[in-house]
Amino acid sequence: MSKNPKPLVAGNWKMNGLKSSLKQIVKIAGKIDSKKKKPGCEVMICPPATLLTAARDKAQGSSLKLGAQDCHADEAGAHTGDLSAEMLANAGATAIIVGHSERRANHGESSAVVKAKAQAAYRAGLVAIICIGETAEQRKANRTLSIVTMQLKGSVPAEATPANTVIAYEPVWAIGTGLTPTPEDVAVVHAHIRKRLTVQMGEKEAQGVRILYGGSVKPDNAAELMAVENVNGALVGGASLKAQEFIGITATYKS
């Protein structure tokens, strides 16, 4: 299992979580810093924005990082209901997920919009976790690699570096379905992503970028998926809502 670059296991709570969910943050923060259980990866939770500040306060002093799930591209202005990257940084985020397939599909976000959001994250000094991935139809039509290429070209800014950018490959058909690609399929797509990043950023930079796999990652399939070459961690949805399950996934990476 590759430890270089340092893997990242991030939990995306999506539109889930009330104040009562903060106890999960406390549990996760407690476990990942305990001598016996300390995982060999960075650990992040991206709660809804309503819980960011409270989660930051609960995680204070621990190595648990907090992220946001989306942002507006502008720094401030007349955008009712939207949040800027600066606001999210101010609330406690160190990273922002951009271009999640649920936003691409439900909010019509194009790769150009996603790129502008990634640039907003950089402007605020945050890491952009840029999501890409094909639908079931696209996979059936053998278009997975061309879709991924197109999304990388359109969504990854020229200013991307290993320090400010993480790529999350999330096949749309694997999200929340219990279905996962085979490790062989994951290996093909992740190798392709690394190759495309090399074209876009140059070899040295591309090697340092973390490429996460996301889509139905659970404690019982994490080891197999995380062992695949060019997989540098996971973006976890449902299984990140319960501390114990999420910790089970982070434990895949031994310190």
Which residues are at the interface with ligand 13P (CB under 6 A)?
12, 100, 170, 175-176, 214-217, 235-239
Tell me how far, at minimum, the Cβ of 222 lies from ligand 13P, in Å: 11
Tell me how far, at minimum, the Cβ of 152 lies from ligand 13P, in Å: 17
Cα–Cα distance measured from residue 137 to residue 193, given in angstroms and rounded to the nearest whole number: 20
Cα–Cα distance measured from residue 29 to residue 62, given in angstroms and rounded to the nearest whole number: 6
Q: By C-beta, is 52 or 239 nearer to ligand 13P?
A: 239
108 Cβ neighbours under 8 A, 6+ residues apart: none
Is 11 in contact with 246 (CB distance < 8 Å)? Answer: yes
Q: By C-beta, is 12 or 24 nearer to ligand 13P?
A: 12
Q: By C-beta, is 86 or 102 nearer to ligand 13P?
A: 102
- Classify the phi-psi angles of 233: left when phi > 0, otherwise alpha if psi is within -120 to 50, otherwise beta: left
Q: Which of 100, 102, 109, 134 is catalytic?
A: 100
Could you tell me which of 146, 55, 59, 135 has the C-alpha nearest to residue 101? 135
Is 219 in contact with 240 (CB distance < 8 Å)? Answer: no
Cα–Cα distance measured from residue 10 to residue 187, given in angstroms and rounded to the nearest whole number: 20
Alpha-carbon distance values, 175 to 9, 97, 128, 146, 230 (Å): 16, 15, 20, 20, 20
Is 166 in contact with 126 (CB distance < 8 Å)? Answer: no
Q: Which of 170, 190, 192, 245 is catalytic?
A: 170
Q: By C-beta, is 21 or 86 nearer to ligand 13P?
A: 21
Kindly report the length of the chain.
255
Instruction: Point out the residue whose Cβ comes nearest to ligand 13P.
Output: 237
Tell me how far, at minimum, the Cβ of 170 lies from ligand 13P, in Å: 5
Q: Are strands 95-98 and 127-132 parallel, antiparallel or unpaired?
A: parallel
Q: By C-beta, is 160 or 239 nearer to ligand 13P?
A: 239
Tell me how far, at minimum, the Cβ of 197 lies from ligand 13P, in Å: 20
170 as an active site residue: the answer is: yes
Cα–Cα distance measured from residue 223 to residue 252, given in angstroms and rounded to the nearest whole number: 6
Tell me how far, at minimum, the Cβ of 179 lies from ligand 13P, in Å: 9
Q: Which residues are catalytic?
A: 100, 170
